[in-house]
Amino acid sequence: MRDLFLLLLVLLILFRTIGAPQAGVLGWAWLTLMTPQKLVWGAVSEWQLNLVLAIVTFLAWFGSREPKRLVMGAPAIFCLLFMAFVTVTTLSSLAPELAWPRWSLAIKVMILGLVVAGVMTTQVRIHSLVWISAISLGFYGVKGGIFTLLTGGHFRVLAPPESFGDNNSLALALCMILPLMNYLRLQSVHRFVRFGIVTAMGFTVVGILGTYSRGGLVGLAIMGAYLWWHSRSRFRIALIVVLAAIPIYNFMPSNWSERMSTIQTADSDSSFQDRLQAWQTEFNIAKARPFLGGGFNASMSSNVYKKYSLDPTGWPRAAHSIYLEVLGDHGFLGLAIYICLLISIWHSAQSARRKARQSKELHWVADLAAMTQVSLVSFMVAGAALSMAYYDMVYLLLGITLVLKRIATQSQVETTAKSSPVVPVLQGATS
């Protein structure tokens, strides 16, 4: 029954996309972030619904009267450069049977981010995209939070199969969506809607704790500190955090507290030692192939792992770091491009914030740009211990920040033009 409902919903989105390509982008983002096809049974769960929707969206976009231009900027340039470079590294991959499927997934997500910049060019469209993103990931946050409360925190909140990866990845995804949920709270005029968003955020925080992810806790702490620092109500936020943290900490069971306490003794933790070994393997691959790396998922190949690992008798491990993952996959040059991409997204959001502050009508741009920065900082810090270098939400943030900067820049230009004095031209002045 679930698969039939999902199929009907996708068909409705496809029908709407024919006349409105922005509907296709929203549906594409929903299928990418929430992966509802992995929550159903039957043949539908194996269909590439997002690929079908992406194709229809492109056809609808090119067949519509929508402007056919890409909003350019440093993030778009670095994204295109990264797309081209990872294609080259995939062609020379050490494990092509593992690299090409991962290349396909990564390229689709990067294209989605660029399409967002080309299609979602108005406040209503961007606001809708944020709502879809918040609902898609907030579903797992609220569900996980309720599960944690009902079970007393004695059981871990797990990621859906074949979607996020593991509980650590789910925790980081939820950390990244919290700032965007906060943006919706700031922009909502109805008290009931704001109350609902705050409630969902509370459940999501509990859900992050319920994953038992130490990286998730670090990401939550970093996100909270960054949000507090840039908030206009620091005292109120600090008071709310303290009042909420004490009962939540006392609510979680002792095994949760024991696991979180190992953050301070990570150097003696077995899982941390596994991470060190995985990081060393990725570095060895990059050292042997500094310009091209091993290609996507190279370290997950048994032959490659045995050759470059310090423990050739062990089994392949994930990189457990967005930076070491890119380093092993695409070498030092690929890592440099990737870091420039992340920095350019943050800088683009900062530029949009600065320009939007000059206009009362663009407070929403400043708020959303600030929240995208908070989300990105969570990813860049907590991602240092997680294999999520090509996570979908990053490239949606890329598209969003490009649009925000364009809107803020246009508004600034229009304001300057209106305020500029008009100098009359006198007849005969040039005679």
- pLDDT tens digit at each of 431 positions of the chain: 677 888 889 999 999 999 899 999 999 999 999 988 888 777 777 788 888 899 999 999 988 888 777 778 999 999 999 999 999 999 999 999 999 999 999 999 999 999 999 999 999 999 999 999 999 999 999 999 999 999 998 888 887 766 776 788 899 999 999 999 999 998 998 999 999 999 999 999 999 999 988 888 888 888 878 777 766 666 766 776 676 677 777 788 888 877 777 665 555 555 667 788 889 999 999 999 999 999 999 999 989 988 898 776 677 878 889 999 999 999 999 999 999 999 999 999 999 999 998 788 899 999 999 999 999 999 999 898 888 999 999 999 999 999 999 999 888 777 666 666 655 554 544 43
Q: How many CB atoms lie within 10 A of CB 38?
A: 14
Which pairs with CB-CB distance under 8 Å and at least 24 residues apart come from 157-165? 157/207, 157/210, 157/211, 157/212, 158/211, 160/35, 160/38, 160/39, 161/38, 162/35, 162/38, 163/35, 163/38, 165/387, 165/388
C-alpha angle 232-234-236 in degrees, rounded to nearest 5 = 110
**Could you give the CA distance from residue 407 to residue 117 in angstroms, rounded to a whole number?**
11
Continuous segment of H or E residues that includes residue 60: helix 49-63
From residue 245, give the alpha-carbon distance in Å to each of 241, 338, 371: 6, 35, 22
CB-based burial label for 63 (10 Å; 0-12, 13-18, 19+): exposed
What does the pLDDT read at residue 423?
55
Assess contact for 202 and 243: CB atoms under 8 A.
no
Q: How many CB atoms lie within 10 A of CB 212?
A: 22
What does the pLDDT read at residue 425?
52
What does the pLDDT read at residue 424?
58
**Could you give the CA distance from residue 119 to residue 113 in angstroms, rounded to a whole number?**
10
> Which pTM was predicted?
0.89
What does the pLDDT read at residue 232?
66
Dihedral sign computed on CA atoms, order 59, 62, 65, 67? positive
